[in-house]
Structure 1
Amino acid sequence: MSRRSAVKSARKAKTEDPSGIAPRQPCPCGSGKRYKACHGSAGGVVDIPVARPFDGLAAECELIALREFVPSGTAVLPLAEGDREITLATVLPMAAAALIRADGVAYVGLQVQTRSNDVSRDLARAVRWALDAKPGDVLGAVGPETDPGDKPERLQDLLDPKATLEPTVHADFGWWMPEGSEPTGEVALSLERANGAILPTERIGAAAYWVDAGEKAHLRWVRPEPEDDLLAALARLHARGELGLGDGSRYAGSFRAHGLLVPVWDLDRELHAREWLTGVEELGARIDAALASLAAEPLTSDERRARDGLLGRQITIR
């Protein structure tokens, strides 16, 4: 080896982590920090959090909504293979990871305490368990110890990536029990507590949910676009006075969840959820048009100021 090659190899050994990630690169966890100041630091976490666990799935936005803010909802999972139908659920009794009802209906829960830094991997573990479980079986939690084989799977390995979800939003958690049966013991207590905590919710568009929070109602809308592009489009509409859904609505801000942006609007709660359907459709068309215009029309100074204002109303929850 030449002296120059030896020096380059030595430098590479000093500047590259065993993971193959250069220290000055952004950390894969999505924190915004450099790798050397985050998970690449001394004592950094080996299991790097996956910032966008449902990336690559057409159902990504609905999965995020069901996990983060829909109280009682179900959707049949579009499995790529397997003979058993698996229903995805927001919450199961005692926050179980999965269960098979006495009548054989198989459920996998989304709003559970994760045991790893990859929600997609934990869900895949629960799905694999549910495919082989028997009526009455309950999986309390999942983790590395429940992997069915040597190669851990992710939800992306089990679902049809092009298939969307068609969630059903329920007024309560009565679907926990087979028709005609009555809950007892801990299940009855869990059902009572869960029903008491529900905020009235309706789906009024793709990954768009009306929620009655008491003093006011909200629209929470998980959007699939890259954050910078979506913010620019929202800023363009805001500068034009076109960011609302009509009278009685106001853009409130946004939060980040699992790698995507979720804009939120305050709504007049005196109006029924269905009365906002047209407003959501028209706003969606305006957002699409604004996104399409960005390549040919850079933001104006007024639109850049509007974007800065929108940035100040963001939070990250996952």
Structure 2
Amino acid sequence: MAAPSLLILAQQGRLEFEAIIFAASLRHCAPDFTGRLIIAEPQPEGAWSGHGTRIGDDTRALLDSLGAAIAPFTARHFGAAYPYGNKIEALSVLPPGQPFVFFDTDTLITGPLDLVPFDKARPAASMRRKGTWPVPPLYGPGYAGIWKSLYDRFGLDFPSSLDLSQPDEHWERYLYFNAGWFLGPDPAVFGQRFLDWALSVRHDPPEELACQTLDPWLDQVILPLVIHSLGGGRPGSGLAGLDGDVTCHYRNLPLLYARESDRVLEVLEAAVAPNRIKRRLREWEPAKRLIYQGKGRSKVRPLFADGLPSREKPIRQALKKNGWWWD
């Protein structure tokens, strides 16, 4: 079976620089990976009309030299009003009938991606998640009632999605993913179902969702339904590296320096060391200060020398207080 296509998103600003880091780390850590790297670029029209979205020419040339193909698409349904919807609509740029893996752009490849057994994988997604949705109201419905209403909406078997090793009404009993990576055998089928069901729930949510917010969680609400409907589920042990030693979803460069391992830092800095990458990446303030001026190691890392808080919020607060945060 051929290696899957990798899909990330990029547009003007932070995402184009994160795309450079992704592509550079892929070539550094997985030089034998034979799948295509496709970078979906929303166009400044449709749901992104009036917004500057096109990747800069210098970035475009660098990504091309790193073996990435930039694929434009027009967002019709989400765009600036719900940027997370890009990952739903961008699946349309992939060749139908061929396996794919979507990654959030703020991901670092840290190991041999070519050795991950994608050919044996059912549709699945990242388990590096927390119980962010739903938030059951005091007087109900609970987790089961909320999730079952969605499975019923689309004619899915709810009981077979449950992790029965977890207690009733504990959030981990119910199929829930982080949308930082997800994969499947056919992006056309996956993407159309993802889009149709997301629009259905956004425009006409079941009454059990009356107290729930769908922004920014809509993609993560619909993702498990799509995966379950296509015969997938929680990832098996073969995919463990995608939430472990093969990829790192760092989410934000200051957070990477605050909480990731020394090995992750070493991979990042080695991957972006070549001059052709450095020349462009230095134009992005976080990379300039944290990577190339060494402030990530000399200033950010020491802030947490006595240990990391267990929650992300105080980490962010400490970074902002000390001037080491960029949105």
Structure 2 length-normalised TM: 0.29
Q: Which of 1 and 2 has higher RCO (CA within 8 Å, sep 6+)? A: 2
Between structures 1 and 2, the one with greater strand share = 1
Q: Which of these two proteins has the greater Rg computed from alpha carbons?
A: 1
TM-score by structure 1 length?
A: 0.30
